[in-house]
A and B are shown apart, each in its own frame.
Chain A
Amino acid sequence: MTDPAPISAARTHAERSPARPARSAPPAPVSIAPPSEPTETAIAVGGFSAWYGDFLALDDLTFDIPRQRVTSLIGPSGCGKSTFLWWINRMNDLVDGARCDGRMSLGDVDLLDRKLDVVDLRRRVGMVFQKPNPFPKSIYNNIAFGPRLHAKWRRSDLDDLVERSLRQAALWDEVKDRLHKSALSLSGGQQQRLCIARALAVEPDVLLMDEPASALDPKSTSRIEDLIRALRDDYTIVIVTHNMQQAARISDQTVFFYEGRLIEWGPTTELFTNPRESQTEDYVTGRFG
């Protein structure tokens, strides 16, 4: 839960496309390989396309995101990675002219259902952005904000939740003596871990991360990566990154997008040692993009 303001589904839902408009060339054949240690599917994507106005941003994507694994989305700027991420928790509802077609489901929840309660969805699907965005409140209240939106809490239970969330985000030891100080007094890396703790406080199933370490120094980046690895056992994590080495280090599955199309997806080790598609090979080796 990273968005403080409840969003009305009826007011903000982007229109679903009633029919797919004609596209140019069909997508290239997709190489499909299951993850090395398969888990059941958390998010299933089938024939999913998305537009901004007339611009086709995502073109007929079909793949699965495994539960309790880290999935990296890679590809050059403008390939549709963030657009895809934003559709998972319906951030695109806020974008004029955004529409989509196809299927995307989280368990038995149709993520594209226009009647879906997006406030509840964003409790189940947390989001961490590129730039740390703590609320201008105390460290404690940053964590407590989301849970308080969803339920009434006894103070002691809330204290426990704040501590648990900060521990999960590997931040507790650094802030336990100044919980009521402003979150803005924290370093950039600490602020980002606070944002992760804030997302964890509402006990989501899925954590979306849009370049969560790109604004951080190497040490803070390393801590975020350690954290992502530690959280993998309990959460389904989808991360957008431009850092190839980061994708190789932290993810179990990697998905390569190019110009809105899914070129290849599969186990990260395979994609970074022996990709099936020449476009993937050229991208991960830095020959384009």
Chain B
Amino acid sequence: MSIRRSILSMGAAVEELVRESFTIFLNRDADAAEAIIQRDRSIDEMDVRVETECVTVLARFQPVARDLRFVLAVLRIENDLERIADLAKGVAKRTIDDDHHAPIERPAALSLMIEHTTAMLSDALRALADRDADLARRVRGSDQIVDDLQTRIYEWATSQIPAHTEATAAAISILSVTRAVERIADLSTNIGEDVIFMIEGRIVRHTQI
């Protein structure tokens, strides 16, 4: 049993799920969406396995200091990864729904936002694997960029929906995906903060960078 191996495997699986769900949404590839939705189940199984391993270690070994911080961080990260996988599944479902909507030209900020968020998740997981607190801090720093891009997409929707009422459903779908992407960025930030706690023992949530 290796908690470290399990959480890194779960992280890699979730990262792949996120990348693929974003790709099929951007490519409007509804045919590939169902397979992604089904894969969420294996993430749920990983989630239960990691939590079981953590509970076992807590019960049997009563870890302290860096061992305790590691187990606590993994418990939080595992929860965040499971939520990220759910959000990715939601993006895949939107891709299927979108297939039935009148199309609308997507804002440039959307692919930029997806690119930043994917990088944030990737960096947060690399910081976990490499025990790299500096990289984890940079993940926190990227969150504002994603929030700004989300604001630009809301502004885009405000102007586009009245002008293209026939594509309202597609625009709402984009807003919905935007919200999911922003949540994934937030959860990646949480993972970065948990990595900082794991390495340095400082709780940096709710603090300025």
Contacts and interface: CB of A to CB of B under 8 A. Distances in A.
B116 interface: no
B48 to A, nearest CB: 27
A273 B62 contact: no
Interface SS majority for chain A: helix
A281 interface: yes
A275 B62 contact: no
B131 interface: no
A280 B201 CA distance: 14
A144 to B, nearest CB: 41
Given A273-B201, A274-B201, A281 B65 contact: yes
A285 B61 CA distance: 10
A245 interface: yes
A150 to B, nearest CB: 42
Contacts of B67: 285
Which interface class (under 10, 10 to 19, 20 to 34, 35 or more) fits A?
10 to 19
A272 interface: yes
A1 interface: no
Interface residues of B, number: 11
Contact of B69 (A244, A245, A274, A284): A274
Interface string A248-289: 100000000000000000000000111100001100110000
A255 to B, nearest CB: 16
Nearest to A281: B65
B117 to A, nearest CB: 31
Contacts of A280: 65
A285 B62 contact: no
A77 to B, nearest CB: 19
Interface in B60-87: 62-69
B73 to A, nearest CB: 12
Given A273-B201, A274-B201, A285 B69 contact: no
Contact of A285 (B66, B200, B201, B202): B66
A285 B200 CA distance: 16
Contact of A245 (B62, B66, B200, B201): B62
B63 A273 contact: no
Interface string B176-209: 0000000000000000000000001110000000
Contacts of A274: 65, 69, 200-202
A280 B66 CA distance: 11
A244 B64 CA distance: 9
B18 to A, nearest CB: 32
Interface in B36-77: 62-69
Contacts of A281: 65-66
B22 to A, nearest CB: 37
A253 B66 CA distance: 19
B167 to A, nearest CB: 53
Contacts of B69: 273-274
Contacts of A248: 64
B198 to A, nearest CB: 11
5 contacts: A248-B64, A273-B64, A273-B65, A275-B65, A284-B64
Given A281-B65, A285-B65, 10 more contacts: A244-B62, A248-B64, A272-B65, A273-B64, A273-B201, A274-B69, A274-B201, A275-B65, A281-B66, A284-B64
